[in-house]
Every structure is written in structure tokens, then in C-alpha cells.
Chains A and B, each alone.
Chain A
């Protein structure tokens, strides 16, 4: 599979995760979200950017429980809960946001 952005093609796996995370650009996240029918807002970007930073540091995409806790610590308690994150990413905050962030599917995704 592949995703087209600005005339360029990016390879993805069968679930739409980017094959090479080094190819990621913000426009890709925008295109993926638009294709899912839910354009990204500032609140979405906060989470997507957080995931990219987490991956940069630890070389993994965090499990949803870890993501929730870490978001709470960084962005405040009102955002560090499943309700808030599931409202932003109804397909599952770790899975969907990781996809937009160009990361592999989170380890420990059960």
C-alpha cells in the first residue's frame, strides 16, 4: 500500500502505517487524518508531536496506558485520561495517533 501526498508516494503497510519513519512529514499526518474524515486540530497535534518525541528518545511507541500517564504529566491532568484521548482518536489513541506520527504500531498493543 502507499499514500500520495503532493504528488509523492509513500509506502505503508496494510494497516496504513508508514514503512519508513524517516520519510515522515507533517503533511502526511494531515493527509492521513483527512482521509479518515477527521482533520487534525491543535489538540491532535499535541499528541502526535508528543509521540514523535517519545519515539525519538526511547525508540518505541508507548502503550496506551503509558501514553495516557505521560500526557497527563506533560500536558496536565485534564488531558491525561482515556476519555480525552479517545475523543481525539476514536480508533484508539496509541494506534491512530502513532499512525499519523509515522511510527510503528505500539509495542504492547493488546
Chain B
């Protein structure tokens, strides 16, 4: 395929639910990984209860479900480098970025230097980012 002809759209995946109470979080993650093959401009948002998806130290043996939280660390390998966390959602839940996984990507063009994928944004800043998208998928 000729890269020059390819239309790159801005796709956003909006995650607003806790990880294990419903199937949404896992489904979203799988869709993101599959869609990453299409070389689009992808960003992820974790807002409202979605911030719980990125909690550190998840341990699901006792509830008999697969712990898919380690998979978020692979997003960088899939060239997903923009992950927005809404600050107000953390505040309302008594959480801070320290409670969440520290997601990074390696910049191939910069000798594989590790860079932060996570961007802490305010509600107003997030509204701006959403406004710039071509497509927003809601989970």
C-alpha cells in the first residue's frame, strides 16, 4: 500500500466503566489492539469509573476472572502513545496518578527512549481533545 494515499483519522476510545463488573473494559481493550493494525491516530481516554481500569496491583484469582491489567503495558508496543486521564474523575474517587499504572512507550526514532503515554488532563482540556476527533468509540 502506498502510504501517501492513506487517510489517517483520529480515533478515540472512551473508557468509563470499572474493569470487572461488566465486559466493556476488556472488549474495549481487545478492539483497541485489533484496530491498532490499521495505523490510525489512536487515543484512549479513561474517565469516570474508567480510571479504575488502570489501577495497580489488581489481583483477580479469587473472583475467577482473567486479570487483563498487564495488557495495558503492551499498548506502547502497539504504537498507542496517547492515553488521557481525566483529573476530576481521579479527584472524585480520592485517587491520584500514583494509584495507576505508569504506561510508557519506546520512541523508535529516539533510540528507543522511554516516554510517558499518560496525560493527566482537566475536564475542559479533555473536552478540547474530544472535539478534535473524527470518531469516538464509547465503552
Contact = CB atoms under 8 A, between A and B. Distances in A.
B34 A108 contact: yes
B contact patch SS: helix
A93 to B, nearest CB: 15
Contacts, number: 39
Chain B: number of interface residues, binned into ranges: 10 to 19
Interface string A47-58: 000000000011
B78 interface: yes
Interface residues of A, number: 14
A22 to B, nearest CB: 13
Contacts of A59: 66-68, 70-71
A70 interface: yes
Contacts of A110: 34, 37
Interface of A: 57-60, 62-63, 65-66, 69-70, 73, 107-108, 110
